[in-house]
């Protein structure tokens, strides 16, 4: 059977059937739709101003590298925007060191400067060292619970170190819907309201975060990386299996097979619910951590509290 023809250009052979829209696309048209979608998301949520210094959080995985690639492309049409890649080195032996090399290679290829912040420099310990200490104390929290809190803080500090006024992260539609369900399961109303495509600054030390890939399914971000020949790290983090997120990812993927487009449905439902939830979340007052001086919901920030538990 001859290959199907692309429904967009009607000339080239198709490579991908986008079930949720009915399109069947060739490589070139597929990549174009991804870049167009990212551009639309940026406009829709007013994510960028012409003179922004954007720190792109780059881990070495497919999503963040696809994001860097697309932002570097868009950057050509925004000459007054500054672009810098920020990479957090958590200190995960045999995993993050490999990712750092991959991220660095793409930064060089795209001519984007890279700034690295490490857990060891910021907190005095690598994640591996922290987890070894936590396990000795029989603490039930997962590695990802620590890593998530400490990494968010590290990216924020890293962006400030280079005087960036915005941080772009590679969160995809899948990450967004997983986070929504995780926050519902945990009953975390503040984070449910706060996790949105563009954050509202609640503390002068918080650098505003944007998520230009939030309307791109994860498998399309992977296909984009493949088409653009972007080398990325595909071995999973050794701590990943501990995460609740993994189970939710599996559940959502199974639902998506049966109910095509359900991830978009969850995202849109959240958009409708958010205004009501935001009213409650606004009551949370951000202050300054008494120990490190970073923004915090309590007197002691979550990162400092976790570091105390290890000490």
- What are the residues binding Zn ion (CB under 5 A)? 6, 8-9, 12, 26, 29, 289, 291-292, 301, 304
Among 240, 255, 292, 300, the residue binding ligand SF4 under the rule CB under 6 A is 240
**Which parts of 186-215 interact with ligand SF4 (CB under 6 A)?**
none
In the list Zn ion, ligand SF4, none, the entry touching 289 (Cβ below 5 to 8 angstroms by class) is Zn ion
Picking from 278, 294, 221, the residue whose alpha carbon sits closest to that of residue 37 is 221
Among 182, 237, 248, 304, the residue binding ligand SF4 under the rule CB under 6 A is 237
Residue 144 engages ligand SF4 in binding (rule: CB under 6 A): yes
Q: Min. distance of Cβ 245 from ligand SF4 in angstroms?
A: 8
Q: Min. distance of Cβ 17 from ligand SF4 in angstroms?
A: 31
- What are the two backbone dihedrals, phi and then psi, of residue 196, each rounded to the nearest 5 degrees? -140, 175
Q: Min. distance of Cβ 182 from Zn ion in angstroms?
A: 23
Binding mask 88-117 for ligand SF4 (x = CB under 6 A): --x---------------------------
- Per CB under 6 A, residues contacting ligand SF4 are 90, 143-144, 147-148, 237, 239-240, 243
């Amino acid at each position: 059977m001859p290959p199907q023809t692309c429904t967009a250009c009607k000339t080239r052979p198709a490579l991908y059937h986008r079930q949720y829209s009915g399109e069947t696309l060739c490589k070139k048209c597929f990549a174009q739709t991804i870049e167009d979608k990212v551009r639309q998301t940026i406009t829709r949520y007013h994510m960028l101003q012409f003179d922004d210094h954007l720190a792109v959080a780059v881990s070495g995985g497919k999503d963040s590298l696809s994001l860097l690639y697309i932002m570097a492309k868009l950057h050509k049409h925004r000459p007054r925007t500054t672009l810098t890649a920020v990479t957090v080195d958590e200190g995960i032996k045999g995993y993050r060191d490999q990712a750092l090399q991959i991220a660095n290679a793409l930064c060089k290829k795209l001519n984007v400067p890279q700034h690295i912040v490490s857990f060891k420099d910021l907190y005095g310990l690598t994640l591996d060292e922290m987890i070894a200490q936590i396990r000795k104390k029989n603490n039930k929290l997962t590695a990802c619970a620590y890593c998530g809190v400490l990494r968010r803080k590290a990216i924020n500090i890293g962006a400030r170190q280079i005087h960036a006024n915005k941080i772009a992260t590679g969160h995809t539609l899948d990450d967004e819907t997983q986070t929504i369900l995780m926050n519902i399961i945990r009953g975390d109303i503040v984070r449910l309201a706060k996790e949105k495509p563009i954050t509202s600054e609640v503390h002068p030390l918080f650098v505003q975060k944007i998520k230009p890939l939030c309307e791109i399914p994860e498998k399309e971000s992977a296909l984009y990386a493949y088409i653009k020949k972007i080398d990325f790290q595909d071995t999973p983090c050794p701590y990943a299996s501990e995460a609740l997120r993994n189970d939710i990812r599996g559940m959502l993927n199974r639902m998506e097979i049966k109910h095509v487009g359900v991830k978009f449905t969850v995202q849109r439902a959240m958009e409708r619910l958010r205004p009501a939830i935001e009213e409650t979340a606004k009551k949370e007052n951000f202050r300054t951590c008494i120990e490190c001086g970073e923004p915090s919901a309590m007197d002691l920030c979550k990162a400092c509290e976790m570091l105390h538990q290890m000490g």
